[in-house]
Amino acid sequence: MSNSSKNSSRHILHDYIINPPHRITVTIIGCGGTGSQVLSIVARMHISLLALGHPGFSVTVYDHDTVSEANYGRQLFTMNDIGLNKAVVSVTRINRAYGLDWKAVPAKATKLNGNIIISCVDKIASRREINNGIAHNRQSESNNNREDSCFYWLDFGNGYDTGQAILGSYGNESVKLLDFFDIYPELKKGFVKNDNTEDSCSLAQALGKQDLLVNPLIANLGMGLLWRLFREGTTEYNGVILNLKSFESTSIKIKSTKNDTATAKKQVPR
């Protein structure tokens, strides 16, 4: 892993993340369609980082929701999981598969601690809470307890056949990665029409609201941002926009040009 770059427009991975004195703490908020996919990728990243000499991740997953019949087939759950908490089911499965000790919290995230926050939530209001939690985390940061300090926020969202992943950074780096509300500032305080999700009673009904493959595709693209940052120690990308209908993915580069920004704003974030 390299932590140097001659290009001033590139973000450099924080030194603490490159050479931590402990496993990097990761908090995943939401373990449904996208979150369960993200968790499996984080597990594979952990195993790969261990092989490269990095201490890897210590992960905590929050989700207050339970598995429903509509989740079976579209999300990474089985019929036997119906009625059980999504975070508990997913983390238990990952721990057994890889011999890990990661934690599941069957509740909403109320305290945001973690070097990397990954959100897979449905509502803009939930992102506001996460944003406020990160701000509080940064304000109360102690130099003697960097284990709880947030350095990156990777946010996922998607509609029926579109999605976005935005990787934001926090710290004293010379080139900052813009977070979700830096890119969509109008959503930080304003009311968002239809900022709600209704439960689906069946898989067929769920598929009418969300394409079968949008979750795994945006999960892989978004986690690719983080993986390449770990592997190369630097990145020129701030996010990615997915349009499954046209089979297109568009990167958001650091210090986006007007065209890049316009592309990002064409899609109403979810």
* Model pLDDT for residues 164-199, shown as the tens digit of each residue: 999 999 987 779 999 999 999 988 876 555 555 555
pLDDT of residue 229: 96
Residue 22 lies in a domain: yes
Residue 181 lies in a domain: yes
Residue 158 amino acid letter: N
- Counted domains in the chain: 1
Residue 213 lies in a domain: yes
pLDDT above 90 for 146: no
Indicate the angle between helix axes 86-98 and 35-51, nearest 10 degrees: 20
- Residue 113: pLDDT band with limits 50, 70, 90: confident
Residue 2 lies in a domain: no
pLDDT of residue 259: 45
Q: Report pTM.
A: 0.86
- Rounded CA gap, 113 and 121, in Å? 17
- Domain encompassing residue 91: 11-266
Ranges assigned E (strand) in 30-189: 57-62, 103-105, 116-120, 152-158, 162-169
- Mean pLDDT, range 19-25, rounded to an integer: 91
Residue 6 lies in a domain: no
Distance of CA 255 to the CA centre of its chain: 21
Residue 5 lies in a domain: no
% of the chain with per-residue pLDDT over 70? 82
CATH number, domain of 137, equals 3.40.50.720
Cβ-based neighbours of 184, under 8 Å, separated by 6 or more: 265, 269
Residue 1 lies in a domain: no
Residue 4 lies in a domain: no
